[in-house]
Structures are given as C-alpha cells and as structure tokens.
Amino acid sequence: MLEDYQSKPITDDTQPIKTGRSKRSGCLGFFIDTVETVLLALLLFLAINALSARVRVENISMKPTLTPGEFLLINRVAYKIGKPSLGDIIVFHAPGESEDDYIKRIVGLPGDEVVITDGMVYVNNNPLYEPYIAEPPNYTGEWVVPPNAYFVLGDNRNNSSDSHMWGFVPHDDIVGRALLIYWPLSEITLLRTPDLVQALN
C-alpha cells in the first residue's frame, strides 16, 4: 500500500578523498614530470638530428642559388632510402684532409660522361638546361664518372672549387641532400631539383 511507504531522508555518506599526496610528494611529482619532459625533448632532438642536419653557407660557390650566411636544412637519410639525382644539391665531406663540408650540385651520375666546352655542360652528349648558374663556365674538360661516385659543380661556375678541379665525390662522403633555406626568414625557399633531365634522351 502507498500508505505503508515511508521515505528516508537522503544523507551524504561520502567521505573526503585522501590522495595521500603531501607537499613533498607534489614537489616530487613536478620533478618527475620535468625530467620526463626534458628526456622526451632530448629524444626528439636526437631523432631529428639523426635524420637531418643544419649547415651555414660560408662562401659564394653556389651563388645565386645560395648566398653566404644562409642556413640550410639537410636530409641525412635521403640517399639511404633513395639514390642521388641529377641536379640535387648535396652536402659532402671535402676532399683531402680538410674537415670541412662542401655544398655543390650533382651534374654527373655514376657512368655518365661529362663534357664542358664552349660554356656548356654536356652529359652523355646532351646539353644541360641550367638557368640557375651565375655565368657559363670559362673552362673545358672531359670526365667519365666512376661507379659509386658523382661529378659536382658549384652554381657559381667560375668561382667554385669542385669536381672540375679535384675530381669526384664518393657516395660514402655524402652527408645528405639540401632541402630548404630556413634562415633568414625572408629567404625561406624549398630547394627543388630542377628538371635537367629534360635534355637527356
């Protein structure tokens, strides 16, 4: 019967939750969070550093494409998962005993015959289309690129120490491929590989 139903007052039986965290444990938690954040940042830095490098352009050998003072992002793994292409801008260990790195453009792949004459570069008898150079080369020569090596030239052809002077770049000496100019901000530019192969049939 409804008359027999009696309601009971609702009481709050909940108890305050005790976290057991003292001021000391709160400081410890903050310290642990800070250490984890620092370690994560360090791991990210190491991972990014393993995959890429940052270099500063020091001379005029790649003008007008690159000018002194610009900073570049370099892809270190580009040629571990792929092969260099004609027209790529690469960073590599300088020949000889120098501890410096150079930056130049690939104009000859393994097995290619490179001929420079009358201000033109020919690869396997085909003239290269190179709108990026400062001026035509004023030197001549003929080279056959050996296996596992590359023929490189600076875009500032007549002011560059490159393959026409000291020979080829071994594949193992390549640091990576230049991806972009990231500093100064006004000069941010992706460094795309030009279509030089349009002249190669």
Q: Which CATH number is 187's domain given?
A: 2.10.109.10
The answer to whether residue 10 is domain-embedded is no
Sorted by sequence, the CB contacts under 8 Å of residue 159 that are 6+ apart come out as: 60, 61, 63, 134
Bridging pattern class, strands 52-56 and 113-117: unpaired
The answer to whether residue 101 is domain-embedded is yes
Q: What's the CA gap between 145 and 124, in Å, rounded? A: 11
Tens-place pLDDT, residues 159-169: 999 999 999 99
The answer to whether residue 131 is domain-embedded is yes
Tens-place pLDDT, residues 61-113: 999 999 999 999 999 998 988 999 999 999 999 988 778 899 999 999 999 99
Q: How many domains does the chain have?
A: 1
Any catalytic annotation for residue 104?
yes
**Residue 52 C-alpha from the chain's centroid:** 5
Q: Which of 63, 83, 85, 104 is catalytic?
A: 104
The answer to whether residue 2 is domain-embedded is no
The answer to whether residue 41 is domain-embedded is no
Tens-place pLDDT, residues 36-61: 777 776 665 555 555 457 789 999 99
Paired tokens of 27: 């400081």
The answer to whether residue 168 is domain-embedded is yes
The answer to whether residue 31 is domain-embedded is no
Any catalytic annotation for residue 83?
no
Paired tokens of 163: 């393959």
Domain of 69, in residue numbers: 54-199
**pLDDT of 187 higher than 50:** yes
The answer to whether residue 146 is domain-embedded is yes
Residue 13's pLDDT band (cuts 50, 70, 90): low
Q: Which of 7, 18, 61, 160 is catalytic?
A: 61
